[in-house]
Structure 1
Amino acid sequence: MARIAVIGAGMGAMAAAARLAVAGHRVVVYERAATYGGAVGRFERDGFAFDTGPGLLQLPAVYRDLFVKTGKEPLEACVDLVQVDPAARHVFADGTEVSLPNASRAGVVSALDEALGAGAGERWGDFLVRAREAWDRTRRPLLEEPLWPNWQVLAEREPYPALRQRRLLRTRTARTLAEVGAWELADPRLAALLESHALAYGLDPHTAPASAAVLPYMEHAFGAWYLRGGIRELARAVHERCLARRVEFVFDAEVVSVTEKDGRAAGVELRDGTVAEADFVVGGPPELLETLTGRGSLYEGDVPESHPASLTCGKVVVCLALRGPREPGAVHRTVVHTTDPADERNVFGAGKPAERPTVWVDRPDDALLRPDDDHESVVLTATVPSLAHHDWTAEGAADAFADRMVTAAERAMPGLRERVLWREVRTPVDTERETGAGGGAVPAPALAGVDGTLLRPANSTRVPGLFTVGGWAHPGGGLPHAGMSGALVAGLVVEGPDFRGSQ
């Protein structure tokens, strides 16, 4: 039985902790905050409750596997998991609306044809076929295996089979997601639908590779899921599974260094001076572990460039407590697309929040999130520059942007402003304070292509016994990816460097 110290109680860290405990190891988790879950947070007030992190779950099979491998009770016995239908309603710049059925290709094709005109559904359906090919090519090396030593194969090869476009005397193929939308979908609304999946993860569609097509494919193929009581319930269930497997949690315990002995990770030191010895240390972002070890780099040789949190995007989340009941037939999630795509590009190019942002409106039909049926709990989310590019602490900055988000949301919910009892605005400042992510940034999933700039550093490091887990390490950000990261790290600890991935 080995002693394992885990730094942080995020979803990836807890997924690794539960699996390692089942393998017979003594696992202690040290979390700087007062609770678990990392970015999967919750805000509560006056009988209202809100998810402040992800609002929906994709690929629930990742957490089903975690619960099967760590105990007798399956995931569905621990949470109330429900499929959202429709998966999302989209309100486009020209006022066109469409609701897309969950995990139904025929239903989506029909809905798009009816809303956008004949042929729109077929073009989107054909795109999803190509996106599936990209998914099949990258699923295992990107999500289910430790990052290959020859990861350059993923960096150089574009897995999306873009259509060849003949223009004058030249043949061209789409290299970015925006080009896929413009050249293959031939409708600005379909292009906006496609690009919103990248924007939701803080990726610029004009620089994100065509392989980002796997992001809408994931929603189409595996559906969108919700947990009664909010996505925070998933964090609760994973935490309780860890406790059932005798994982020990120490909260309000900030790790200030990783100790070493004979060139190997040997434990952690806390801010209060406590030193906890360990045979293995599992930690969060590679940048953080580099600081905690005092090493210049955790990796030997050529590795994917680790993108600092300060160079990526964050989120503004507006929690709205509303008077008045949720109307019958209201959709769980609505995406209100920007009316000024060129301005929204400033989020990435100029580090400036959009004047007319794309806003995700989540309206769960969940009595557990409201004081009674005469009120409603609504969450608005938008992608914004991180603290490195925009001063969210400036007086009025958060409220001014929240006002713009509410204005956008009113295109989907007329009269919204008059229903607001109160609101809570959360910016990258809150993200940084609560999760420790530099700049309050949110990591995107790893993607192939573009010279490896969207790959994440490997889970193994050059320090024996030291591993990285979570969104800033392989295979990147997102709830499913966090669970996969935990599975990979547990496999590497238990089976050693010969571990070839999840089965």
Structure 2
Amino acid sequence: MARIAVIGAGMGAMAAAARLAVAGHRVTVYERSATYGGALGAFERDGFVFDTGPGLLHLPAVWRDLFLKTGKEPLERCVGLTEVDPASRHLFADGSAVTLPNASRAGIVSALESALGAGAGERWGDFLGRARDAWDRSRRPLLEEPLWDDWQVLGRDPYPALRQRRMLRTRQAATVTEVGALELADPRLAALFEGCALAYGLDPRRAPASAALLPYMEQTFGSWYVAGGMRELARAVYERCLARKVEFGFGSEVTSIVVRDGRAAGVELAGGAVAEADHVVAGADTALAAGQELWEDGDVRPQGGPDAGQLPGRFAVLLGLSGARPASAVHRSVVHSPDTGAEAAAVFGGRLAERPTVTVLRPDDPRIRPDDAHEAVTLTATVTGHGGAVDWRDKALRERCAEALIDAAGTAVEDLRARALWHEILTPAETGAVPAPSLAGLGGRYLHPANSTRLPGLHLVGGHAHPGGGLAHAGMSGALVAGLIVEGADFRGSQ
């Protein structure tokens, strides 16, 4: 039985902790804040409850697998999990709109064909077919296996872009924006793809075409909602850890990783106390290993972001509304920017977008509202990160951005301003950055550092390590770290 110190109680870290405890190890989680869950937080006011991180669950199989592998009680016995159907309603700048069903390619194609005109559904269906090919080619190395030593083979984009002859030249789409222009050939279809990429923290102008995996993943495996809000999933994972005898130290800030005899040997806490360990799993900043060389020449290293700039963040407006939620309301609506390129230029250029893409979440859940005469609504947009050119602590700036989101959301929620009792604002200053998921292509610039480091005994977990950001990816990173520690060099990936 090994002693394992886990830094941070985020979802990836807890996923690793539960699996390692089941394997017979003694696991202690050190979390500097007063609670667990990382990005899966909640805000409560006047009987309303809001998610402060992701509002929907994609690839629930990741978390089902965790609960299956760590005990007899399945995920659905621990949280209320329901499909979101319809999956989303999209409103475009030209006044057109489309409502997409959940996890039905045929239904999606039909809806697009009816709403956006002849040929729109067929083009999107063909695009999803190419995205499926990219998924099949890259799923295991990107999501289910440790990052290969010869990761350079992932520098090639698995998306089978169409060859098109234009102006005496043969062209192929290499980026998300180019796929929209060359293959989807409709600004509204392009907005569907570009808006999805932006929501994952990617710049559609630069992100590889393999980002087609993201809408494919959502539209194939569906969108799911956790009753009571996504914080309930964090609670269930935390309780599973406790049931498997994982120990938690809240208010325990790790100031450095202890290195002895050339390997990670524990953690030092604020105040000077040292917790000895045989392995350290870091779900936090690798600067804790100051002075240690964690990567060698040729390794994938941490970056300021795939686009060599500051990572974007998420801006949220939490609204308590008077009046019952209409029966016709859709759980998720997306009000698309009239110019996603300009929006991306602002987000990744340290500026505010004049007209951002806004996601409106309206869960039909009695647990998140004081009574049926009220409704809880969350508005979110991807924005430039905190610091540098933008200080999200500026009250006037926060309110100006909130007004832009509320204006946009008014096209999706009737009488929004008249019904609003109050609103609360969350910015990247409170919620942090949005790390993107790993993607193949463009020479591997969209990959994240491996879960194993060159310092023996130190492993990385969470959104800033392989396979990257997002709730599903965090769960996968936990499975990979546990496999590497339990099976060592023989580990070939999750089954």
Letter in structure 1 aligned against 2:476: M
Q: Secondary structure at the match of 1:159?
A: coil
Q: Give distance in 1, aligned partners of 2:301 and 2:280.
A: 23
What residue number does 1:417 align with? 417
Measure, in 2, the Cα distance between the counterparts of 1:304 and 1:92: 39
Residue 324 of structure 1 is matched in structure 2 by: 323
Do 1:320 and 1:420's aligned partners in 2 also have CA atoms closer than 8 Å?
A: yes
Correspondences of 1:176-325 after superposition (within 5 Å): 176-285=175-284, 288-289=285-286, 291-295=287-291, 297-308=293-304, 311-325=310-324
Paired with 2:17 and 2:366, the residues of 1 have a C-alpha distance of: 32
Per-residue deviation, residues 103-143 of structure 1 (Å, max 9, x unmatched): 11111111001100111111100100000000011100000
- 2:198/2:382 contact within 8 Å kept: yes
Aligned twin of 1:337 = 336
Structure 2 residue identity aligned to 1:484:
M
Alignment check: 8 A CA contact 1:305 1:452 kept: no
What corresponds to 2:51 in structure 1?
A: 51
Matched residue, 1:435: none
1:474 maps to amino acid:
H
The alpha-carbon deviation at position 77 of structure 1 amounts to: 0.7
Please state whether the residue corresponding to 1:211 is helix, strand or coil.
helix
Distance 1:276 1:341 in 2: 49
Superposition deviation, residue 220 in structure 1:
1.2
Identity of aligned residues (%): 67
Q: CA deviation at 1:349?
A: 4.5
CA drift of 1:305 comes to 3.6
| Cα separation, 1, equivalents of 2:171 and 2:233 | 44
Amino acid at match of 1:407: D
Distance in 2 (alpha carbons) for counterparts of 1:351 and 1:170: 35
Mapping of residues 329-408 of structure 1, within 5 Å: 329-387=328-386, 388-408=388-408
Q: How does 1:7-26 map to 2 (within 5 A)?
A: 7-26=7-26
CA contact (8 A) 2:292 2:455 kept: no
Partner of 2:109: 109
2:445 is the alignment partner of 1:453: yes
Query: Per-residue displacement from partner, 1:259-306 (whole Å, max 9, x unpaired)?
Result: 111011111111022211111000024xx22x2121254112211242
**Alignment-mate amino acid for residue 237 of structure 1:** A
Per the TM alignment, residue 206 of structure 1 is displaced from its structure 2 partner at its CA by: 0.8
Return the alpha-carbon distance in structure 2 between the equivalents of residues 241 and 219 of structure 1: 27
* Contact persistence 2:83–2:224 (CA under 8 A): yes
> SS state of the match for residue 413, structure 2?
coil
> Structure 1, residues 170-211: CA drift from partner, whole Å, max 9, x if none?
111000011111111111101101111101012111101000
TM-score for the superposition, normalised by structure 2:
0.98
- Contact residue 31 and residue 253 of structure 2 kept, 8 A: yes
Contact 1:346 1:353 in 2 (8 A): no
Matches of 2:414 and 2:118, distance apart in 1: 29
Match for residue 100 of structure 2? 100
Distance in 2 (CA, whole Å) between partners of 1:282 and 1:52 is 25
Q: 1:450 and 1:238, CA in 2 relative to 1: closer, same or farther beyond 3 A?
A: same
Aligned runs of 1:101-140 on 2, under 5 Å?
101-140=101-140
Give the letter for the 1:275 counterpart.
V
* Pair 1:58–1:354, CA change in 2 (3 A): same
Unaligned runs of at least 5 residues, structure 1: 432-439
**One-letter code of the match for 1:226?**
Y
Cα separation, 1, equivalents of 2:51 and 2:483: 31
Q: How many residues align?
A: 491
**Which of residues 482, 485, 495 in structure 2 aligns to 1:490?**
482
Query: What CA deviation, in whole Å up to 9, does each residue of 1:457-490 have, x standing for no partner?
Result: 0000111110000000000000110000000000
Q: Distance in 2 between matches of 1:122 and 1:271?
A: 59
Question: Which whole-Å CA distance do the structure 1 matches of 2:173 and 2:73 have between them?
Answer: 46
**1:371-390 superposed Cα distances (whole Å, 9 cap, x missing partner):** 00000001000000001341
- TM-score calculated relative to the size of structure 1: 0.96
Code of the residue aligned with 2:466 in structure 1: it is H
The SS at the match of 1:19 is: helix
Per the TM alignment, residue 342 of structure 1 is displaced from its structure 2 partner at its CA by 4.2
Listed as ranges, the gaps of 5+ residues in structure 2 are none
Give matches, 1:452-491, under 5 Å.
Answer: 452-491=444-483
Kept in 2, the 8 Å contact 1:108–1:121? The answer is: yes
What SS is found at the alignment partner of 2:321?
Answer: strand
Secondary structure at the aligned position of 1:473 is classed as coil
> In the alignment, which residue of structure 2 is the partner of 1:437?
none
**What is the rounded CA distance, in whole Å, between the counterparts of 1:5 and 1:467 in structure 2?**
10
Whether contact under 8 Å (1:456, 1:472) holds in the other structure is yes
